[in-house]
Structure 1
């Protein structure tokens, strides 16, 4: 087999970065050369995995998607604590206009990646990208490209409930169109600005769809979800998308997780709690949840998030702003998560039941899938019930059948060869294109 040279990149958000790294590990394991393009602060993630690294900070100036989203959360945090339909219906013109920062970042990132690919010193056989919209640089160059969808795959099933609604596949379909219409109206400004940028790039035929947050594959694309949870009851799915049961990345650090001395002699199970890098920025909801979990007889490892210095943990807790999440998940009995697809997949891969507290977008769909497949519980941040949350924890530890279902999913993910098959599909596409170096 001829080794190929791949450019791998992702939007400036940790979930997407981690997903791209996991898929790139599959390319590396197959003998290919991987160049990971991202911000300088993430260089260590590439170097640890034996990837070459290309920074694009200087080309992005001060644009930062994560900062823009933090500002968005701060300005409209109270609205994030509403059920999804109400949130969409009540999205103000001011809030819609705040999407402009996201669209502007899309354009800035596209320009940075275009400069990397246009550099004659950089020669790539293929591009693998985890990006939330069509990016013109992919269409400009003749290099085969392969999109990753590292979010809940309901976006690929038009006959299923509307993505980002949190509706069950068993819910009344007569309510689905109401959400679809409200969602499209709420994201109208983001859609307009992004499509204006695509038109300016000469891509009139390419359109951004906020109900998908992925581009249509040039040839083939890959989504990340276990076969046991996939939405087969909603088939057919969009063409040219292929499921990979697991591309969970290796831990960022090799050190084993050890229960902190503060918690070592305390009774109870060990539970990991994280709302992700964005959800944890809502200090109001974080403080409420910490106060509830303080009343549990169990002990907690807390990922406090980027604003963790403002949080005070209870006696049955230990945490840091950032923890070596994969190692932590391996060493706990239960995970309480926001349901972001990356943490969702890691939790399942290591066979841990979960309680999902969704904050926005596909987190609601993952939370409902947990309920529909009876592998955990869903707790909504807009209707926090202290007793219900604490009781859900105990029910999971008492329910051996639920724990066994999760272990079966884990076993099937670990024994799947779908990632190596995906790499072979990419190899075949590049071979047919005749663009090898």
Structure 2
């Protein structure tokens, strides 16, 4: 097949961005050109992986450093809301996120038509939660990537997206959907007006995106999937069984203490690292244990002092190279962290704070791949008990090995590349 152009347009967050990098690497290996459409603040990230990237304004244009600070301040301003249940986050964090997301679609529409005309993609892959009309209308196959929790594609029999509900909590499902629709209606009405101005039909209340008629890619593995009342059409929906990018190697450093102890990795993602009080509490606790720990503290490294001898902190870790070497992970429930732990067979304790982290936390516990933990309401003894079970429970260990073996045989990035290229009919 002659070289074709594949454009990726991920949401401006590290989870979707790095997931798309993994797929893009596999597409490029097959001899095709890959370009990224990108929030200006993420352009350099894609270029660092060797890809062309074109900025698309998703908000009022501002320098990249100010844009990064904007989202950092946005998240940090909501830290008090991290203590709330998912349903009680709807009228604060979730509402403000959807307002920003709708604005991003409006801003993108100003840039996308001219950029698409310039790069002339043969296939466009979008990893976001909202429709960009210019991409749907461009006239080439477009693909929806669902790198968040699988329940982003709704079904009446499964928990609603962002709810963190148990699979069988039907009363909770109904209560969450009711409140979500009540709070989100003015934002949704505004979005529907935008859709109509772009000659698109309005969406039903609560819906901001549609399934692609060409192809939809989901990251969830077989072992974590929900039991849907209406199975997804395999001709249009494909499960990648995880999708782990290639990252530079990582050598575990020598610790000043506990070098023969189990190794933990702690990360709340690039944005969650602003919750320094929680990370300091965890570091203090881990300093009293037999474990070693690598702790991702993001851009807040200067705020830490008196680090225990069995803990090493850093601003960033090449996560897909770190997780294979650890024994257990404590994370925020981001979908990359969720699926990477499953892929490498590492049990996780998920302390979710927002968005689909709540869904992934409940799912990791319901499928026996680890534990859900309240983010703040836990005792030292309770957390240590969960860590010990992750390290020693034979049922969890067997489940992790089985899931890991299955996922690694699937090779998600290669699978995704095959499906994307097949859209060209060659």
- TM-score, normalised relative to structure 2: 0.88
In structure 1, the partner of 2:375 is 381
- Report if the CA contact (8 A) 1:132-1:215 is conserved: no
Q: Show the counterpart of 1:435.
A: none
What SS class does the counterpart of residue 34 from structure 1 fall into? Answer: strand
Whether the 8 Å CA contact 1:60–1:109 is kept in 2: the answer is no
Closer, same or farther: CA 61–275 of 1 in aligned 2, 3 Å: same
Distance 1:358 1:189 in 2: 27
Q: Residues 155 and 199 from structure 1, CA distance in 2 versus in 1: closer, same or farther, beyond 3 angstroms?
A: same
Moved more, 319-328 or 194-203: 194-203
Give, in whole Å, the separation in 2 of the partners of 1:68 and 1:59.
11
Change (3 A) 1:97 1:300: closer
Aligned residues: 420
Q: Work out whether 1:394 is the aligned partner of 2:388.
A: yes
Deviations 1:132-153 (CA, angstroms, capped at 9, x unpaired): 2001211331122111010110
Indicate yes or no: 2:400 matched with 1:406: yes
Mapped contact 2:294–2:312 kept (Cα < 8 A): yes
Q: Which residue of 2 aligns with 1:77?
A: 79
Give the Cα separation in 2 of the matches to 1:267 and 1:293: 15
Q: 1:418 to 1:70 in 2, by over 3 A?
A: closer
Alignment gaps of 5+ in structure 1: 433-437
| 1:309 maps to 2:302 | yes
Superposition map of 1:35-434 within 5 A = 35-38=35-38, 42=42, 45-47=45-47, 49-56=49-56, 61-62=61-62, 67-88=69-90, 91=91, 96=95, 99-119=98-118, 122-158=119-155, 159-169=157-167, 171-203=168-200, 205-207=201-203, 214-231=209-226, 233-239=227-233, 240-251=236-247, 254=248, 256-263=249-256, 266-312=259-305, 313-416=307-410, 419-431=413-425
Shift of 1:336: 0.8
Note if contact 1:156-1:237 (Cα within 8 Å) is conserved in structure 2.
no
How far apart are residue 422 of structure 1 and its match?
4.2
CA distance, structure 2, for counterparts of residue 42 and residue 378 of structure 1: 31
Give the secondary structure class of the aligned counterpart of 2:230. coil
Instruction: For 1:144 and 1:430, locate their aligned partners in 2 and report how far apart those are by CA, in whole Å.
Output: 8
Q: Deviations over 1:308-345 (max 9, x none)?
A: 43234433211111122121112211111111101111
Taking structure 1 as reference, are residues 316 and 98 closer, same or farther at Cα in structure 2, changes over 3 Å only?
Answer: same
**Matched residues in 2 for 1:431 and 1:224: separation?**
24
Are the counterparts in 2 of residues 10 and 16 from structure 1 also a CA contact under 8 Å? yes
- The TM-score with structure 1 as length reference comes to 0.86
Cα contact 1:100–1:193 (8 A) shared by 2 = no
CA contact (8 A) 1:208 1:215 kept: no
Q: Shift of the alpha carbon at 1:368?
A: 1.2
SS in 2 for 1:105: helix
Instruction: State how far apart, in whole Å, the 1-side matches of 2:106 and 2:58 are.
Output: 15
Q: Deviations over 1:52-107 (max 9, x none)?
A: 3334479962187754443333333212211112333xx25x98467534432332
Gaps in structure 2 of 5+ consecutive residues: none
Closer, same or farther: CA 319–214 of 1 in aligned 2, 3 Å: farther
More deviation, 76-85/330-339: 76-85
